[in-house]
Structure 1
Amino acid sequence: MEGLKLAAAKLVVYLHPSKAKNVADAIHGEISSLLFKFNETFDGVLLAYDTDFPSNLAKILPGVHPYFGVRLETKLLLFHPKPDMVLEGEVVRLSEQSIHVVILGFSAAAIMAEDIREEFKFKAKPGKEVFRSTIHKKHRIKIGTIIRFVVKSFDEEILHVSGSLLPAHTGCVKWLERHLEEWSQSDSTIKKRRANEQTGEISEPDKAANDGKTFAVNTESHNKKSKRRKSEN
């Protein structure tokens, strides 16, 4: 899924002297307070971090409040979806006018009716709302479905995504992946058949007769043998 990125950062965390006895816990507490919030410095929403710092990098800062700074290096996992990126999420609510999705368990997304391609038609029964494709009958979107959609915009303040199901490569992830595999196999078969035709190879379909072996026909050798027999006669 797009929208996720790893970043390496060098930070300085400022701590109150009262936390000097347990610097590691204090630092983890400061960084943890930034989780699941958009941070302009990191240019994304902090999802996870891995910090490594030596204890001898603490430095007392002069001033009225004698805070001390600790330099450290950390690896960050960030979430920052941008327009045209492809995201995946679980459908939590459906209506004729919209599809509502949760991404990674914390960010909400909404796909409005004008951003759902026309092949999907909404049908509702008590507790069984569904968007069903009129082209592929088994392509359905219902509550609990993991869908793939394209980002239109991202509200960094409330972590809300506006999405679209207009592109052909969007929809139910399970259906898309299954049919992508079928299309790939079909395309591979067609390419192999064309290659065999170009090289003059004939593949017999009767497995009982030849166990699926491929026979190469050498027309030049066959013609020479025919001429030799005629000359002998």
Structure 2
Amino acid sequence: MEALKESEADLVVYLHPSNAKCSNDAILSSLSSLLFTYSETFEGVVLAYDPNICSKLAKILPGIHPYFGVKLKARLLLFNPTPNMLLEGEVVKITPQSIHAVVLGFSSAFIADEDIWDDFKHKIKRGKEVYVSRSHKKHKIEVGTILRFAVKSFDEEILHISGSLVADHTGSSQWLDKNLNEWSQADSTTKKRKSGEGEAEKPEDGRLMMKRETSSPKNDKQAKKSKKRRKEHS
């Protein structure tokens, strides 16, 4: 997934003197407080950590309660979705106006109807709401589908994602992976057909204009003969 990245950080964890005998547990507890929150320092939501204590020596801080600081290195797994990135999430709810999904089990994603490609049509099948592709009938989006969508925006405070299904490579990830060549060729053929129709209209219009502006000599002679006969009879 594009939004996931690893980062190595040099940290100092400050512990209360009461934790001197169980410093390892206190360090892990302090790091756990970072999980599933957005950190401006690391520019992402912390999903996991792997600490490595550099030294058993700690620096005691002066004060009423002399805290001590422990230096350590940690590998962090961060989640930071940015616009146009591709994400995958499990669909949990479908309505005529929206699709709701959960990404990595903790972040909610919302896709409004205005961000759903017109090729997808909302239907109710066997009492369940689904979105079905008009051009590929087997391409369906329903509850439980692993959805591939593009990021529009990310709310760092509530970890909420606004997504889009406008791009060609979005939809059911299972169907897209199985039919990659099929939908790519179909889209290419459709674009070529539309392009060809647009080019064909121009010469056709030109020929019509030519027919309206020109007349053959044979037709001119027949018109003159008809006019002459009408004068003789009169």
TM-score under structure 1 length normalisation: 0.76
Cα deviation for residue 33 of structure 1 reads 1.0
Counterpart Cα distance in 2 of 1:46 and 1:127:
40
1:24 counterpart letter in structure 2? N
TM alignment of 1:89-168, pairs within 5 A: 89-125=89-125, 127-168=127-168
1:143 counterpart letter in structure 2? V
The SS at the match of 2:180 is helix
Counterpart Cα distance in 2 of 1:64 and 1:136:
70
Say if 2:58 is the partner of 1:72. Answer: no
Cα deviation for residue 127 of structure 1 reads 3.7
Cα deviation for residue 55 of structure 1 reads 4.3
1:179 counterpart letter in structure 2? N
Say if 2:33 is the partner of 1:28. Answer: no
Q: For the structure 1 residues 8 and 158, does the alpha-carbon distance in structure 2 shift closer, same or farther, using more than 3 Å as the test?
A: same
After superposition, what is the alpha-carbon deviation per residue over 1:180-223, rounded to whole angstroms, capped at 9, x for unaligned? 26679xxxxxxxxxxxxxxxxxxxxxxxxxxxxxxxxxxxxxxx
Counterpart Cα distance in 1 of 2:82 and 2:20:
40
Cα deviation for residue 2 of structure 1 reads 1.1
**Aligned counterpart, 1:7:** 7
**Aligned counterpart, 1:177:** 177
Cα deviation for residue 40 of structure 1 reads 1.0
Cα deviation for residue 34 of structure 1 reads 1.1
The SS at the match of 2:5 is strand
1:12 counterpart letter in structure 2? V
Counterpart Cα distance in 2 of 1:153 and 1:94:
20
Cα deviation for residue 56 of structure 1 reads 2.2
Aligned residues: 185
Which structure: larger Rg? Answer: 2
Stretches of structure 1 that go unaligned for 5 or more consecutive residues are 185-233
2:95 counterpart letter in structure 1? S
**Aligned counterpart, 2:88:** 88
Counterpart Cα distance in 1 of 2:112 and 2:44:
25
**Aligned counterpart, 2:228:** none
1:131 counterpart letter in structure 2? Y
Runs of 4+ in 1 over 4 A off after TM superposition: 181-184
Cα deviation for residue 66 of structure 1 reads 0.3
Say if 2:51 is the partner of 1:48. Answer: no
Counterpart Cα distance in 2 of 1:7 and 1:127:
46
